[in-house]
Amino acid sequence: MQQFKTLMLREWMQHRRSWLILGLWSPVIVWALVYLVLLTQGTPQFSDNIATNSSKIAAWVISAQTSFVLYFSLIGVLFTVPGLPYRDKDDKSLAFWRSLPINERAAVGAPILMHGIVLPLLAITAAIGLNVLLSAPMWITHLSAGQLGVLLAGVFGTILQGLLSLIWLLPLVLLLALGNSAVRRWGMVLVIIGAAVAQSYLSKMLPSLAASRFVEVYFSGLFGIISHVDFLNLMASPGQAAEQFSFVSSFALNLPFVINLAVSALCIGALIWRRQTGQTA
């Protein structure tokens, strides 16, 4: 367990800066620009009376900026995790880490956990928290008890949404990492081609089976979970909160999500085996 903590700390020390810049500095820059525009141009006026003009602007900016961080976090995971099998070899630290009595499961699991879940989720959590804090001058004077509940639910829902999105993305990035570990550089391309060929074959052989369209199902699930917590809609229609969060919570209980977890576990097991047999760094 101590080895695992040490390896997690290594990832934190080496890679925290880029994720913290995404989660902390991007909201600061966006809100500085928003307040600059509002001070110079004034607050836009909206025709409906569902919420105050400033509250609508705050909700829209929170939604847009948090979505930006979420998408960039997913892209960061997509570019980072597949390169982990040969990372130590590329940065010339392989001999050092091989000389240490490190458990292979910890050596594989710690980087995947940090880069696939912990660091991006930290960026998403920091972004939503900072967005709410920086937007407070625009809505704090008009906030009612009911709106406070919706706001807190939106914060929690966004964090949960980020966590589920990252977990849903894991099988893809782990399959790419496994392909990269088998055939370096070209392995990821082969995985993508193989998935496309497999879906094409299955859709012809079993057109009525939903599993034959597994690529479409996978990405529709990913974008489905990303789009189901919307601050703008929540503030405009608080009654939608129950519907949005029931979908998010039930998402983790459906069969495709369980299959995703199983595929992720198998990929991690395969990566551990390849490292134990010396086939990857």
Q: What is the DSSP string of the chain?
A: -HHHHHHHHHHHHHHHHHHHIIIIIHHHHHHHHHHHHHHHH-----S--SS-HHHHHHHHHHHHHHHHHHHHHHHHHHHHGGGGGGHHHHTT-HHHHHHS---HHHHHHHHHHIIIIIHHHHHHHHHHHHHHHHHHHHHGGG--HHHHHHHHHHHHHHHHHHHHHHHHHHHHHHHHHHHHHHSTTTHHHHHHHHHHHHHHHHHHH-TT-GGGGHHHHHHHHHHHHHTS--HHHHHH-GGGHHHHHHHHHHHTTSHHHHHHHHHHHHHHHHHHHHHHTTS--
DSSP 260-272: HHHHHHHHHHHHH
Band (pLDDT 50/70/90 cuts) for residue 156 is confident
pLDDT at 33 over 80: yes
pLDDT at 120: 95
pLDDT at 243 over 80: no
Exposure string for 113-146, b = 16+ CB within 10 A, e = fewer: bbbbbbbbbbbbbbbbbbbbebbeebbeeeeeee
Give the mean pLDDT of 244-270.
Answer: 79
pLDDT at 260: 86
Q: Is 36 exposed, middle or buried (0-12, 13-18, 19+ CB in 10 A)?
A: exposed
pLDDT at 126 over 90: yes
pLDDT higher for 204 or 75? Answer: 75
pLDDT higher for 21 or 215? Answer: 21
pLDDT at 27: 93
pLDDT at 235 over 70: no
Q: Is 195 exposed, middle or buried (0-12, 13-18, 19+ CB in 10 A)?
A: middle
In this structure, are residues 125 and 162 in contact, taking their beta carbons and an 8 Å threshold?
yes
Return d(Cα 281, Cα 55) in angstroms, integer. 52
pTM above 0.95, yes or no: no
Band (pLDDT 50/70/90 cuts) for residue 244 is low
